[in-house]
Amino acid sequence: MIALAAYRDALSRIEAPPGLAALRRTHLRKFLQAGLPDRQHEDWRYTSLAHLEHMPLHAPLAPTPALLALEAYPGELRAWLDDRPVQQDVPPSAVLGALADVIGAGALPAFGSLAPDSALARLNAALWREGASLRVPAGERLARPVFLRFAAAAADAMLHPRVFVHLAEGAEAILVEHFLGDPGIAYWQNPVTEIALEAGARLTHLRLIEEGPLATHTGLTAVRQERDSRYQALNLTLGGRVTRHELGVTLAGPGAEARLDGVFIADARNSAEQHVRVVHQAPHGTSRTLYRGLADGRGRGVFDARAEVQPHADGSDARQSSRNLLLSPQAEIDVKPQLVIHADDIQCSHGATVGSLDEDALFYLRSRGIDTAGARQLLLEAFVEEALGLLDAAGLRGWLMPRLLASLPRARTVEVRP
Amino acid sequence: MLEIRNLHVSIAGKPILKGIDLSLRPGEVHAIMGPNGSGKSTLAQVLAGREGYEISAGSVRYLGRDLLPLPPEERARAGLFLAFQYPLEIPGVANAQLLRTALNGQRRARGEAEIDAFDFLEFVQDKLALLGMDESFLYRAVNEGFSGGEKKRNEILQMAVLAPRLAILDETDSGLDIDALHVVARGVNSLRSNERAILLVTHYQRLLNFIEPDRVHVLAGGRIVRSGGPGLALELEAKGYAWLADAQTVAQTVAEEASP
Ligand SMILES: Nc1ncnc2c1ncn2[C@@H]1O[C@H](COP(=O)(O)OP(=O)(O)OP(=O)(O)O)[C@@H](O)[C@H]1O
Ligand SMILES: [Mg+2]
């Protein structure tokens, strides 16, 4: 049973922007008719959101006083706590502002048109609050990365961060989205980010899920790319009880390029799911999907990726690679790579493997005097490194690596042979 | 330094080593020769601490300690080094990273200060020069895409950096061209001293022309069937397969007598 009252109550307290009120009600009505997705749905067969129905979910009225400390970010930061902006001292600029204001002013015609009509995207469309808007004018290049930090601090909060990114022709930017929350509470983040890249625009997008161990995260990123634009993404899932990211990329203009990298770590009893959909609509598009997955304890990972080359998207090049490591006998990772081809003269490949840590390599390192924990660490770092190529170009290695290394599963005590 | 007594080892219930006795004193170089499959690598791997072997009888003492209960990293930190017959490729881990992590792991264990990146580079450059290796090898992933001979040289580079008390070289000479053989021999000889011992597993007299052993042992059918001075290797070279066939017969006979 869905907590109808909670959703209706959340909606009743949203005013801005006024023009969207009717649309929000429609979205909520359709969401309530369909309910939360369940395992009957093919794309949801690995995920259960049943626990959400037993939580007293609510949209927090005001930011909780227990403010999560704001760490330093190497760029321009906008932060939200429980869906409320916390850094009021930074004036909104034409480039980076509140989404509600931008829509209220009549801008962003594409808003809402990129995300799919899924139940959770509808819920977000009904209940998002201020949101964030990043608009880079034609030919401009943002000097510093933009960080959007979405944190949860109220127990049983249900949060619907909404981001709209528009890069005009030839514009360039680096965007980092960081999702996190109080480790001691259960909450649900259901963010939606829409990204429109005009001809020749270039976006590097790092998305970091670092939720608390009791948190649920059901995120969606929808990207539309025009001619010769380039979208480079690094999706990292380092924490959260139930986490799921859907990434949909449409190569709408000829010669568009998408590079989709990712690392996910599912330990304890966590589940971490990656669903990637790439659609080649125009000729000579290139897509590269490269994910590395780690599961430890009773963790469960899912890598589900589909690249579709539509008719007339001739000369497309679509490649997928997914390598996964199981670090304990109870860990599990399901991989589902798919290529659907309807055009000619295509280059496609996909490879997906699930294995365990190479015992021979471990022994080799230990025989040089490196202890088991150190040897494992070296091998795990090397394993994920293959997917981290974007960090250097984006200048984000120094910011990200300590977080990533701290999240790598620790070595358990090893049995010493008598 | 190393005392192996009546060592019996089997793999998945199949006896491989059937009572090895061997002792090395500091300063000594011993060679182990013997036919394919006789158990030479098994002995080397057991000494380095690889898991998955059943040690059904016997003991190994190293520097006065019981070696067998120690995990591989502690053996390495106590100065034992194995150059692998088949060095592993470790994609994503740079050679320099392995060398420095290993060296510092060992230094920490000995209560010495860790060596910083700058001093390390200077230190390792000397070793590279000794082995005629280009500095670019430091930044490549461990053994990945290395030629057979380069992998063997890389093992010797690791040995030169770690400066072990007891080095076990498992067919480091196999697959080397003549120049590389000289280089490897130079690496090994540079390490020879009164405090160190070296165990060379080899199929060829060739290497022993450059590194003269104190003792030569022939391992066949899981036993040492003959031991002698450097002359034994020459004798082997001269008498060749006929002699080895005899050795195998001896070993087989013994094995058959042992099994009911
Ligand atoms: N993991 C294993 N499982 C089963 N048998 C094994 C295993 N490892 C080694 N053996 C067997 O043990 C025997 C000894 O092997 P080992 O590698 O020690 O020989 P070797 O003397 O080093 O030979 P070579 O000169 O060819 O290197 C061989 O018969 C081999 O097939
Ligand atoms: Mg061998």
Q: What is the pLDDT of residues A70-91, one digit of tens each?
A: 788 999 999 999 998 886 667 7
Distance (angstroms) between ligand 1 centre and the Cα of B41 equals 7
User: Which residue's C-alpha comes closest to atom 29 of ligand 1?
Assistant: B37
Using DSSP, state whether A200 is helix, strand or coil.
Answer: coil
Of all helices (H) and strands (E), which one includes residue A162? strand A162-167
DSSP bridge pairs for B23: B3
Strand ranges (DSSP E) for A253-395? 257-266, 271-280, 286-295, 300-309, 317-326, 332-341, 347-356
A267 token code pair: 């330990």
| Residue of B50, B87, B92 with shortest CB distance to A383 | B92
Residue A66 has pLDDT above 60, yes or no: no
User: Which residue's C-alpha comes closest to atom 25 of ligand 1?
Assistant: B36
Report d(CA A386, CA A262) in Å as an integer.
10
| Residue of A367, A374, A381 with shortest CB distance to B82 | A367
Q: Is residue A352 very low, low, confident or very high in pLDDT (cuts 50, 70, 90)? A: very high
Look up the domain containing B254 and give its range: 2-258
Distance (angstroms) between ligand 2 centre and the Cα of B168 equals 12
* In contact, A333 and A363? CB cutoff 8 Å: no
Q: State whether B73 and A369 contact (CB < 8 Å).
A: yes
In a domain, A412, yes or no: no
Query: In this predicted model, what pLDDT tens digit does every residue of A114-154 receive, in sequence order?
Result: 999 999 999 999 999 989 999 999 999 999 999 999 999 99
Q: Among residues A416, A375, A368, which one has the least CA distance to residue B66?
A: A416
Nearest chain B residue to A383 by CA: give it: B92
A99 token code pair: 């989404």
- Taking the CA of residue A348 as centre, how many other CA atoms within 13 Å lie in the half-sphere pointing to its CB? 19
Q: Is residue A67 very low, low, confident or very high in pLDDT (cuts 50, 70, 90)? A: low
Tell me how many domains chain B contains: 1
Query: In this predicted model, what pLDDT tens digit does every residue of A10-54 receive, in sequence order?
Result: 898 888 788 889 999 999 999 999 899 988 888 888 888 999 999
Report d(CA A309, CA A341) in Å as an integer.
5
In a domain, A110, yes or no: yes
Query: In this predicted model, what pLDDT tens digit does every residue of B102-111 receive, in sequence order?
Result: 999 889 888 9
- Per-residue burial over A140-149, b if 16 or more Cβ lie within 10 Å, else e, is eebeebbbbb
User: Which residue's C-alpha comes closest to atom 30 of ligand 1?
Assistant: B37
Look up the domain containing A347 and give its range: 4-64+71-407
| CA of B16, nearest ligand number | 1
Closest approach atom of ligand 1 to CA B222: 14
| Contact map slice: B 123-152 vs A, CB within 8 A | 141
User: Which residue's C-alpha comes closest to atom 31 of ligand 1?
Assistant: B37
Q: Among residues A44, A64, A42, which one has the least CA distance to residue A52?
A: A44
- Find which of B68, B73, B100 to mutate to test the A interface (most A CBs within 10 Å of its CB): B73
Report d(CA A66, CA A81) in Å as an integer.
10
User: Residue A132's pLDDT is what?
Assistant: 94
A-to-B residue pairs, Cβ atoms closer than 8 angstroms: 83
Q: State whether B90 and A379 contact (CB < 8 Å).
A: yes
- Backbone dihedral angles phi then psi of residue A33, each to the nearest 5 degrees: -65, -45
A42 token code pair: 């093919």
Put simply, whether B40 touches A (Cβ < 8 Å) is: no
Nearest chain B residue to A366 by CA: give it: B73
Q: Which residues line ligand 1 (CB under 6 A)?
A: B 11-12, 16, 34, 36-42, 85
Q: What CATH number did the domain enclosing B220 receive?
A: 3.40.50.300
Q: State whether B91 and A382 contact (CB < 8 Å).
A: yes
| CA of B37, nearest ligand number | 1
Q: Which residues of B touch A374 (CB under 8 A)?
A: 101, 105
Report d(CA B226, CA B31) in Å as an integer.
12
In a domain, A418, yes or no: no
User: Residue B3's pLDDT is what?
Assistant: 96
Residue B258 has pLDDT above 50, yes or no: no
- Write the CB contacts of A130 (distance below 8 Å, at least 6 apart in sequence): A16, A80, A83, A84, A85, A98, A99, A100
Report d(CA A247, CA A115) in Å as an integer.
10
| CA of B45, nearest ligand number | 1
DSSP string, B147-174: -HHHHHHHHHHHHHHH--SEEEEESTTT
Q: State whether B84 and A418 contact (CB < 8 Å).
A: no
Q: State whether A365 and B90 contact (CB < 8 Å).
A: yes
The DSSP symbol for B204 reads: -
Q: State whether B162 and A386 contact (CB < 8 Å).
A: no
Pairing of strands A192-197, A317-326: unpaired
Report d(CA A191, CA A50) in Å as an integer.
19
Q: CA dihedral in degrees (A194, A198, A201, A202; nearest 10)?
A: 20
Using DSSP, state whether A230 is helix, strand or coil.
Answer: strand
Q: Among residues A22, A17, A224, A42, which one has the least CA distance to residue A107?
A: A17
Q: State whether A370 and B97 contact (CB < 8 Å).
A: no
Q: Among residues A275, A287, A134, A127, which one has the least CA distance to residue A197?
A: A134
- Looking at chain A, the whole-number percentage of residues with pLDDT higher than 90 is 77
DSSP bridge pairs for B9: B17, B55
ipTM: 0.92
| Residue of B50, B69, B73 with shortest CB distance to A370 | B73
Distance (angstroms) between ligand 1 centre and the Cα of B240 equals 21
Residue B215 has pLDDT above 50, yes or no: yes
DSSP string, A70-112: ----SSEEEEEETTEE--TTSPP-SSEEEHHHHHHTT--TTTT
Report d(CA A213, CA B57) in Å as an integer.
49
Nearest chain A residue to B106 by CA: give it: A369
pTM of the prediction? Answer: 0.88
In a domain, A352, yes or no: yes
Tell me how many domains chain A contains: 1
Report d(CA B47, CA B220) in Å as an integer.
18
* In contact, A311 and A341? CB cutoff 8 Å: no
- Write the CB contacts of B139 (distance below 8 Å, at least 6 apart in sequence): B94, B95, B96
Phi-psi region of A246 (alpha: psi -120 to 50; beta: other; left: phi over 0): beta
- Write the CB contacts of A325 (distance below 8 Å, at least 6 apart in sequence): A292, A293, A294, A295, A354, A355, A356, A357, A380, A383
Section A371-398 average pLDDT:
94
Residue B40 has pLDDT above 90, yes or no: yes
In a domain, A413, yes or no: no
Section A235-240 average pLDDT:
97
* In contact, B134 and B48? CB cutoff 8 Å: no
Query: In this predicted model, what pLDDT tens digit does every residue of A242-281 receive, in sequence order?
Result: 999 999 999 999 999 999 999 999 999 999 999 999 999 9
Gyration radius of chain A over CA positions:
21
* Residue to mutate, B9, B38, B204, ligand 1, most ligand atoms under 8 Å from C-beta: B38
Report d(CA A406, CA A403) in Å as an integer.
5
Using DSSP, state whether A150 is helix, strand or coil.
Answer: strand
Q: CA dihedral in degrees (B33, B34, B39, B41; nearest 10)?
A: 40
* Residue to mutate, B9, B16, B217, ligand 1, most ligand atoms under 8 Å from C-beta: B16
Q: Which residues of A touch B103 (CB under 8 A)?
A: 369
- Find which of A292, A370, A388 to mutate to test the B interface (most B CBs within 10 Å of its CB): A370
Of all helices (H) and strands (E), which one includes residue B96? helix B95-109
